[in-house]
A and B are shown apart, each in its own frame.
Chain A
Amino acid sequence: MDTFMEQLPVVVHSLNIGFLQTMKLFFVTLLGALPLGLLICFGSKSKIAPIRVVLKLFIWIIRGTPLMIQLLIIYYFPGLVLKNPVWGGGEGGRFFASSVAFIINYACYFSEIFRGGIISIPVGQDEAGKVLGMTRSQIFFKVKLLQMIKRILPPISNEILTLVKDTSLARIIALQEIIWAGQAFMKGSQGISGAIWPLFFTAIYYLVCNGLLTLLLGGLEKKLEYFR
């Protein structure tokens, strides 16, 4: 296949498959990291000192080291060092390990954003709930949560856009996401080799995806503008 017009459908088909994997990792991470982040956030405010200290240490390590290294350690450590390849083989195993690494990493960042959101709510809201006889969970869910969501939406949106692009790091353990799919045409795949433009093309996927997400998250912010 020599001409661009001949190569294009083959490349697009491959990139689509890669992008599907990218999106899978994106959604799984989001679904796992948001609730786990909230849990870590509550834990890091716990009254029990050991829990607090361990979580602070954990957050420090996760935020202080590259996600790429975390991916490598999580994927290879059980098999190579412990001789117990917990993730299983093939693409399924790579996806499982990537998901775990991404969820842990993003949960730590989310937890700090949640913590900021909680402490930014005036103590008067808490007190008003208390004097009205509300329980602590009622105060959190009925009074503070929506105010907190409104405040953390901009930084969370930032993280979400970053996550879309960060999924490409999973390439380091050969997860067949879109960068991997694009790169394949440099080495040679399906009769195309030495082509770098498929890799450039992947940028369009990220750009369109983040454009849609920006609209969606912006719409959400707008929805919460009804109160201050």
Chain B
Amino acid sequence: MSILEVEHIGKSFDHTEVLKDICFTLEKSQVLSIIGSSGSGKTTLLRCLNFLEHADSGVIKVGGKVVFDASDKEYLKESVVRKNRLHFGMVFQSFNLFPQYTALQNVMLAKQLQAKKLPEYKEKKKEILQEIEDEAKMLLYQMGLSERMDNYPHQLSGGQCQRVAIARALALKPDILCFDEPTSALDPELTGEVLRVIKELAETKMTMIIVTHEMAFARDVSDKVIFMDDGYVLEHGTPDEVFNNPKEERTKQFLGRFIANNN
């Protein structure tokens, strides 16, 4: 069974349709890249998956269970949304780290707040908090940031900030980790270090959806690629199908420069 099923998602802002009947599925441990020009609806699609926007139509299922159905108001309730969005992790283009917390505190915060609601929190407070801290340190170690744990975001480079943001998202153990143009705010050198981390995550079989303009990266790391244009999914296939044998003229046109540079 697919871990993620997206069925007939549609979304309009005012009277502009930005997502039109989006359908796709994703298997566990697969990496899906979403490519396309700016304004094609990629980011909006990702934001609908994380319920930062609510789709006007369609259904989203995770592990076969409905987590969103546009025809049922129940799924718009704040408490329901809050629970369901934990299936997804989100890494933003501009990191959105909390500036008043250190790297380590950024990674621990959400988990600590969740732990407070555990029935055994009062008795085992110390052990629980220690466990959260150990896990957070482990994640930062994985991200190559052991030396940077006690630094505040403004003391870190963009690439380091983004790696903290990835650790922060992983701390909640999401089923699917989403990236919204994770390297668009970074220079080429820093882009490299972030892409390397994402690649390592792919090797650990993390299920991921990546909205990106890094074509070579999308081709190399993905199991599946979606090409979006004007709110539609125009291509949906393996990297080989989409990059080397695109069906649509629009895809060829979009990929033209990238392919010309690489062949």
Contacts and interface: CB of A to CB of B under 8 A. Distances in A.
A122 B92 CA distance: 13
A135 B90 CA distance: 16
Contacts of A142: 109, 113
Among B94, B96, B97, find the residue whose CB has the most chain A CB atoms closer than 10 A.
Answer: B96
A150 to B, nearest CB: 8
A138 B113 contact: yes
A124 B113 contact: no
Among A122, A133, A146, A227, find the residue whose CB has the most chain B CB atoms closer than 10 A.
Answer: A133
Given A147-B99, A227-B154, A131 B113 contact: no
B212 interface: no
Given A130-B52, A133-B114, A143 B98 contact: yes
B100 A132 contact: no
Interface residues of A, number: 21
B85 interface: yes
Interface in A121-177: 122, 124-125, 127-128, 130-136, 138, 142-143, 146-147, 150
A131 B154 contact: no
Contacts of B97: 128
Contact of A227 (B90, B99, B109, B169): B99
Contacts of B89: 131
Contact of A127 (B92, B109, B113, B152): B92
A128 B99 contact: no
A226 B154 CA distance: 9
A133 B110 contact: yes
Interface in B125-160: 152-154
Contacts of A122: 96
Nearest to A138: B113
A222 interface: no
A89 B135 CA distance: 65
A47 interface: no
A127 B81 CA distance: 13
B50 interface: yes
Given A133-B172, A142-B109, A142-B113, A128 B52 contact: no
Contact of B100 (A124, A134, A147): A147
B86 interface: yes
B82 A124 contact: no
Interface of B: 50-52, 78, 82-83, 85-86, 88-90, 92, 94, 96-101, 109-110, 113-114, 152-154, 168-169, 172
Given A131-B85, A131-B88, 11 more contacts: A128-B90, A128-B97, A131-B89, A132-B109, A132-B110, A132-B172, A133-B82, A133-B114, A134-B110, A227-B99, A227-B153
